[in-house]
Chains A and B, each alone.
Chain A
Amino acid sequence: MMKIFRRKKTMILIISLAILFWVITGMLFVRIAAKKAQFNATLGETQLGLIENYIKGEKILFYIDQAAKYSIYAAIYDLSLNGGFFDYKCGDYKGYGLWQSEKEEMEYCSPDYKNSFSKFISTRLDSYINEGIMGINIPTNNYDFVFEEGEKTKIHGIATTPLSIPLLCGKDKTECGVYKVKPSFFQQVDYNLNDYEMIKEKLIKIAEECKKEQDLADAENLKQCVYSKMGSYKGLEWKAIPKEASAEEDRNFAFEAVSDKKMPFNDDKIVYKFAIFVPDEAPPPPIRELEVSKKEEDSIILKWEESKALDVKKYKIYYMHSDNEMDCRKIGEYYKNTPLDITKEEVIIYKENIIKDPTNPNLITQEIAVKDKKYCFAVTAIDKVENEINIEDAEAINYP
């Protein structure tokens, strides 16, 4: 026996083996004890918890489905009252979103109504779910929308982030899993998004048919043109919002188009509110009754009645002179192809610089230097977008 312990290597080996053995045995004990501790739940309890979680999930999905339905109904009204806009692209006119402005055309300004509709639905739906449901956090701004258009619009709300409902297990109800489900939805509403296309069609027609009209001080031709287009059009009853008379021409018009349709749970009809700027292609009317009188040997006074157009920016005096007789009725022809013996000139007078006749404030006067020649004079009014009648249509007079 002593020999064993005298051999150092042997001793080390035996002791090491013994220690290793007890360490392994100890670890085994611990592992067995740990495994036993896990099996303290009742058989089936976790599975039943999963079923309860599933039912909870179904309740939340049902809630979201209903909330989506009400959100869509409300969004239809939100969209129509905002003229198809979520944010006004080209500004507004008296609170009505502009589908065409003075600076931008309809292709740019008209609303992306589907995108706006998505945003309104999302905003309304978030108000239902932003505080969670049944203690579960619901992701907000969580949907991509797909629309199928027709007499009835189909709306697919595709959730991007799933709901997470924790699964609680054991006596301590600790989280042992998560039940995830995507809260997508599908709704069908008795409403046609195509109404916005009809509105655009009608607005294009109004702009096209009334662009050559203008309001004058004594005749509201533009207003009359626009108002004459009101009435029933493809299921919508159109009316223009009345405008007050103004000293300056206002080519913006606001409209309301009323649909017969109402959404469930709402007593109001759907009313579309929007505005448009009617393009100005109307030149101020011709200047008539031009008068010329001698002032001095080398100057004359030209007089004409101030234009009744509300948007006149300036006046242009066309005049030609020659040693020979001229037929002033051909002033337009002379301007295009000026004969060698005729000299043509122009004077521009801005509205803010005009001189009124002291005896008659409706008359504008302008002194022009002249020589001992034959003259033809014509005056046109030019508006702020440079509309002007053709020189051939202007009334010309001769002097002397």
Chain B
Amino acid sequence: MNKKGFFLDTMVDIYGWLIFILGLIIWWLVFYLAFGRGSAYTINEKQFSINNDGLLLNYLSTPIENKGYSLIDSLILAYEGKEDKEILKSDVNSILKKVYYKKSVCWNLWYYEGEEKKLLANEECEGKTNLLFDATTIIPLTNGNSIDIRLTIPGYS
């Protein structure tokens, strides 16, 4: 045969087709090995929790009833010694009571000076506790500095 094109004569045709088919078989094997051979996948379970820091920001931004300022202002005044800490305690309680459907909760409001954690105000717990809330954030002070604060709610009082 003198045809131009794919293969050139009968023998070449046979061998050419042989190689071609062999190639296809190998190709199929590759894919089969890679995907189809009963691959097993393991589903792992992992737990993540979204922290309450965003919620803490909401609490800090909440205006205190009949006072014309928000909780963060009360916190700053107490921290800087311009207001009695009892007022801060009362302001925090007024907000948390609304959050926890008029149930009283015990809480601790901490601030950090470097690595040292100090208590700014708290409502003490009685009996067993079950941590309801734990969040931190950073707040600026009126003198240009800043502090980290942390609010924890160990449980109902």
Known: A3-B11, A14-B19, A58-B54. A63 touches B138 (CB 8 A): yes
Known: A1-B15, A10-B12, A28-B30. A265 touches B142 (CB 8 A): yes
Known: A7-B12, A48-B48, A66-B72. A25 touches B27 (CB 8 A): yes
Chain A residue nearest to B8 in the complex (CB): A10
Cβ–Cβ < 8 Å partners of A74 in chain B: 142
The CA-CA distance from A159 to B20 in the complex, in Å, is 66
Tell yes or no: A247 within 8 A of B by CB.
no
Closest Cβ of chain A: how far from B83's Cβ, in Å? 10
Known: A3-B11, A7-B12. A18 touches B53 (CB 8 A): no
Closest Cβ of chain B: how far from A300's Cβ, in Å? 76
Cβ–Cβ < 8 Å partners of A9 in chain B: 8
Cβ–Cβ < 8 Å partners of B123 in chain A: none
Cβ–Cβ < 8 Å partners of B48 in chain A: 44-45, 48
B120-157, CB < 8 A from A: 137-142, 144, 146
Stretch of A126-134, A149-157, A277-285, A392-400 contacting B (4+ beta carbons < 8 Å) = A126-134
Cβ–Cβ < 8 Å partners of B60 in chain A: 62
Q: Do residues A62 and B11 form an inter-chain contact, with CB atoms below 8 A? A: no
Q: Do residues A55 and B53 form an inter-chain contact, with CB atoms below 8 A? A: yes
Of the candidates A29, A32, A59, the one whose C-beta lies within 8 Å of that of B138 is: A59
Tell yes or no: B76 within 8 A of A by CB.
yes
Known: A62-B57, A62-B137. A55 touches B34 (CB 8 A): no
A118-163, CB < 8 A from B: 124, 127-128, 133-134
Tell yes or no: A52 within 8 A of B by CB.
yes
The residue among B57, B60, B72 with the most chain A CB atoms within 10 A of its own CB is: B57
Tell yes or no: B99 within 8 A of A by CB.
no
Tell yes or no: B109 within 8 A of A by CB.
no
The CA-CA distance from A58 to B60 in the complex, in Å, is 13
Q: Do residues A51 and B50 form an inter-chain contact, with CB atoms below 8 A? A: yes
Could you mark each residue 1-12 of chain A with 1 if its beta carbon is under 8 Å from any beta carbon of chain B, else 0?
101100101100
Could you mark each residue 40-54 of chain A with 1 if its beta carbon is under 8 Å from any beta carbon of chain B, else 0?
001011001001100
Closest Cβ of chain B: how far from A138's Cβ, in Å? 12
Tell yes or no: B51 within 8 A of A by CB.
yes
Tell yes or no: B61 within 8 A of A by CB.
yes
Chain B residue nearest to A1 in the complex (CB): B11
Closest Cβ of chain A: how far from B48's Cβ, in Å? 5
Interface size class of A (residues with CB under 8 A): 35 or more
Known: A17-B19, A62-B57. A42 touches B46 (CB 8 A): yes
Could you mark each residue 87-126 of chain A with 1 if its beta carbon is under 8 Å from any beta carbon of chain B, else 0?
0000000000000000000000000000000000000100
Could you mark each residue 104-125 of chain B with 1 if its beta carbon is under 8 Å from any beta carbon of chain A, else 0?
0000000000000000000000
The CA-CA distance from A7 to B80 in the complex, in Å, is 97
Closest Cβ of chain B: how far from A9's Cβ, in Å? 8
Could you mark each residue 358-394 of chain A with 1 if its beta carbon is under 8 Å from any beta carbon of chain B, else 0?
0000000000000000000000000000000000000
Q: Do residues A66 and B19 form an inter-chain contact, with CB atoms below 8 A? A: no
Closest Cβ of chain A: how far from B67's Cβ, in Å? 12
Known: A14-B19, A21-B23, A63-B140. A128 touches B73 (CB 8 A): no
The CA-CA distance from A55 to B52 in the complex, in Å, is 9
Tell yes or no: B77 within 8 A of A by CB.
yes
The CA-CA distance from A1 to B13 in the complex, in Å, is 11
Tell yes or no: B44 within 8 A of A by CB.
yes
Tell yes or no: A70 within 8 A of B by CB.
yes
Cβ–Cβ < 8 Å partners of B16 in chain A: 14
Tell yes or no: A264 within 8 A of B by CB.
yes
Tell yes or no: A326 within 8 A of B by CB.
no
Closest Cβ of chain B: how far from A10's Cβ, in Å? 5
The CA-CA distance from A3 to B23 in the complex, in Å, is 22
The residue among A18, A44, A66 with the most chain B CB atoms within 10 A of its own CB is: A66
Tell yes or no: A258 within 8 A of B by CB.
no
Tell yes or no: B69 within 8 A of A by CB.
yes
| Residues of B that sit less than 8 Å from A by CB | 7-9, 11-12, 15-16, 19, 23, 26-27, 30, 34, 44, 46, 48, 50-51, 53-54, 57, 60-61, 69, 72-73, 76-77, 80, 82, 137-142, 144, 146
| Residues of A that sit less than 8 Å from B by CB | 1, 3-4, 7, 9-10, 14, 17-18, 21, 25, 28-29, 32, 42, 44-45, 48, 51-52, 55, 58-59, 62-63, 66-67, 70, 73-74, 124, 127-128, 133-134, 264-265
Given A9-B8, A62-B61, 4 more A-B residue pairs with CB atoms under 8 Å apart are: A21-B27, A25-B26, A25-B27, A44-B48
Can you spell out 9 A-B residue pairs with CB atoms less than 8 angstroms apart?
Answer: A25-B27, A42-B46, A51-B50, A58-B57, A59-B137, A59-B138, A128-B140, A128-B144, A265-B76
The 5 closest A-B pairs by CB, nearest first: A67-B140, A265-B142, A55-B54, A127-B144, A48-B48
